[in-house]
Structure 1
Amino acid sequence: MNKLIPMLPRISVFALVAALAGCSSMNPMNWFSSSPAEKPTPLVEFKPAVNLKAGWQAKIGKAHGYAFAPGLSADAIYVAGYDGQLARLDAGNGATVWQIATGDKLSAGVGIGEDLELVGTPKGKLLAFDSNGKPRWQAQLSSEVLGVPQVADGIVVARTADGHIYALDAKDGKRKWMYEHTLPALTLRSQPGVLITQGAVFAGYAGGKLVALALDTGAVGWEASVAIPKGASEIERIADVTSTPVADNKQVCAAAYQGRVACFDLRSGNLNWARELSSVAGITMDDSNLYVTNDKGEVVALEKTRGASLWTQDKLRARGTTAPHRAGAYLAVGDAQGYVHLLALDDGHFAGRSATDGSAIISRPLPRSGGVVVQTANGNVYALAL
């Protein structure tokens, strides 16, 4: 229990600050500071090595503080917005194939797979539609659905704000199992998803924990500490894993706020390496390296087998930088002013940039056919071509 606010149950720092100061996604580091928010680093001028230009643009609806992410398939892109709209876009030209009103406000999506499109609601409903936009089923979960639902091997996995993970039958939405994780008194509001790989579900939690669950039964395979809370106050002790873990065929890695980046053996959960590095936005991985957006908005590259530092791009500091993602021969990130940046893999220098609508890029850029797809807080979807 938070001693400073004894009458309240578990609370979200983000919710408290957002209520006082509006959207704080620009600079999460300053949610916990009494000093004025750091000004975003001005855009750096550079000679582009690649031309990143808008291929097409579509509209779905504003995010209202939620981190919606497009769902990408071979020939379609599925997008959703807070007001309940769900649409299928043609991947080639962005034309609307269909658009429906789900009948609910939405908080998470779009998860896709096995002829399902999955979205969640603030009231805890998980809604499933087929590729033609027709309702398949819905399931009532315990609280607000956060993070993009995932589907694999006939099982849909979704997580809720109260720390639960649900596994549902992809055919009818019936519950197969549920995992419950006790949360600390004070947490950072975020929308971490789950990672499904090699028959397991990996999820990071408030308090710095990473858990591995059997996809078919929900049995706990192992639990490990990405970070250990430390400090005198509840705020100082926040050490939350606020982003989705990443993995290759040997190890799974996660990052914690006010904590560490750590990689663990995929099967045993034994720690391979860890280093002090605080992150809210998240991480990505390729064949050689791990890339982290730290809590200052800087992008850091680490050698993934040992965690050795390779480079840091500090000219994105305080720009509300998203988690990075590989896009061909580059690393792509978005920022809170609607810019998408391409960074060179060898040393992190700027290689390309494109503007969108001026509102925040709300989830990491997703690679798509020689470019990237992004969704903004104002509800615009852009396909940017290299």
Structure 2
Amino acid sequence: MRISSKLVGVGVLALMTGCSSLSPSSAINKLSGLNPFSSKSKADQPAALVELQATMAVRTAWKLDIGKAGAYQFSPALAGNTVVVAGAGGDIARVEATTGRLLWRTKAGSELTSGVGTDGNLIVVGGAKGSLIAFDMDGNKLWTSQLSSELLSAPAVGQGIVVARSLDNRIVGLDAKTGDKKWTVQRTSPALTLRTAPGMVVSGSDVIIAQPAGRLSSFLLATGAPRWDVEVGVGRGATELERVTDIGGYPVLFEGDVCAVTYQGRIGCFDAAAGSTKWTRDMSSEVGVAVDQRFVFAPDDKGALYAYNRDTGANAWKNDKLAFRRLSTPVSYGRAVAVGDYQGIVHFLSREDGAFLARAATDGSPIVGTPLVAGSHLIFQTQNGTVAAIAVE
């Protein structure tokens, strides 16, 4: 039962069977302190941080407390030159990306389980008991729509359509102006899946959605009609636990490619228009990827950070000095790739060879959402609700 104990031990992730799941509070209550790795094996303990002589200047430009994430994952979202953030307690805020100046802060009127989705014209979050709540860019509530079950993934917005996926793997498209349902797609799920927040991304007139069992699927935004479906990860093993191979984090679009990684499966890049495979490599990761002109970056489930050539999938480098530090989805910016850990520390590594460049602290709690590039700032959101903008100089 090694895989089972590991999934529960991660804290943000838990196992669900069919459409039922461990409650968020029960998953969190299994943890003690910030360190999610309580195994007695010394080999599984988080690597100690060695003293670092920084060769890159980084500083915290601003911070905002949006409220704890609880058992959920919240990621900041970019809307023009502003950042929109939300927390599990129901707070939503919009701030200037450069200065952190608060433009507005409001209450959703409900606890939140997912968010934020925005296209720069509409803000959408997932509320308690499967409610989907929409706001305009000034923070005024527009509509609420009730879905079939809890929302863990941030909604996607594009072409006048809001796409949301509930825990029972029912995908709905709603009218962005009214919240009326326009189409529904029901996909089956394997017996066991990760209780996580696989993402969705709008690609022109399509939406690309990370599916259970390690699949990426593309649908027409207007109608929900399927465009293509591709297998990223392949389940292996004798038991259902060993065959769990869900996609972690958001699929990432870059210059016609869409790249993703799965738990106990593979990492790969695919043609975003046709779904054809460009390359795949064996890998296991519980979080997402970062992509730039040359590389695809991802941490594995043991805390090693890898860089792959974006065109060929050839391994460019590996840094294993952050072993078992529960790394976040990375983000690429300039000459660095940055990744957060379970203590809220952001590590900056050279995108060319993986050498350490700098380090910055947030609030001591895990960084669990997907980081964001906003101008010259990298935006990280922690489990305890700190939104930190780190300037790279």
Report the secondary structure of 2:110's partner residue.
coil
* 1:376 Cα deviation from its structure 2 partner: 1.3
Separation in 2 of the partners of 1:206 and 1:13? Answer: 17
Report the secondary structure of 2:218's partner residue.
strand
User: Out of 375, 379, 385, which is 2:381 matched to?
Assistant: 375
Alignment partner, residue 5 of structure 1: none
Deviations 1:110-153, CA, capped at 9 Å, x for gaps: 22224211111231111111121111111111111122222111
* 5+ long unaligned stretches in structure 2: 1-16
Q: Does 1:355 align with 2:361?
A: yes
RMSD: 2.4
Separation in 2 of the partners of 1:113 and 1:252? Answer: 19
Q: Does 1:117 align with 2:123?
A: yes
User: Out of 13, 21, 35, which is 2:30 matched to?
Assistant: 21
Separation in 1 of the partners of 2:135 and 2:69? Answer: 20
Deviations 1:13-44, CA, capped at 9 Å, x for gaps: 896982672279965xx79x896882111113
User: Out of 340, 350, 356, which is 2:346 matched to?
Assistant: 340
Q: Which amino acid aligns with 2:30?
A: A
Alignment partner, residue 133 of structure 2: 127
User: Relative to structure 2, which stretch is displaced further, 36-45 or 162-171?
Assistant: 36-45
Q: How many residues are treated as equivalent by the alignment?
A: 376
Separation in 2 of the partners of 1:178 and 1:352? Answer: 46
Deviations 1:237-277, CA, capped at 9 Å, x for gaps: 11111322123343322211111112223233222221111
Q: Measured at CA, do residues 140 and 189 of structure 1 come closer, stay the same or move farther in structure 2, by a change above 3 Å?
A: same
User: Relative to structure 2, which stretch is displaced further, 9-18 or 68-77?
Assistant: 9-18
Report the secondary structure of 1:211's partner residue.
strand
Q: Measured at CA, do residues 204 and 246 of structure 1 come closer, stay the same or move farther in structure 2, by a change above 3 Å?
A: same
Q: Which amino acid aligns with 1:73?
A: A
User: Out of 103, 107, 113, which is 1:97 matched to?
Assistant: 103
Separation in 1 of the partners of 2:25 and 2:129? Answer: 20
Deviations 1:320-340, CA, capped at 9 Å, x for gaps: 110111123311111110111
- Given the two structures, how large is their TM-score scaled by the length of structure 2? 0.89
Alignment partner, residue 272 of structure 2: 266
Q: How does 1:32-111 map to 2 (within 5 A)?
A: 38-111=44-117
Separation in 1 of the partners of 2:43 and 2:34? Answer: 11
Report the secondary structure of 2:129's partner residue.
coil
Deviations 1:19-70, CA, capped at 9 Å, x for gaps: 672279965xx79x89688211111322212121111111111110211112
- Given the two structures, how large is their TM-score scaled by the length of structure 1? 0.90
Alignment partner, residue 364 of structure 1: 370
Q: Which amino acid aligns with 2:101?
A: A
Q: Contact 1:146–1:193 (CA<8 Å) still a contact in 2? A: no
Q: Contact 2:34–2:343 (CA<8 Å) still a contact in 1? A: no
Alignment partner, residue 302 of structure 1: 308
Alignment partner, residue 262 of structure 2: 256
Q: Which amino acid aligns with 1:142?
A: S
* 5+ long unaligned stretches in structure 1: 1-7
Q: Does 1:284 align with 2:290?
A: yes
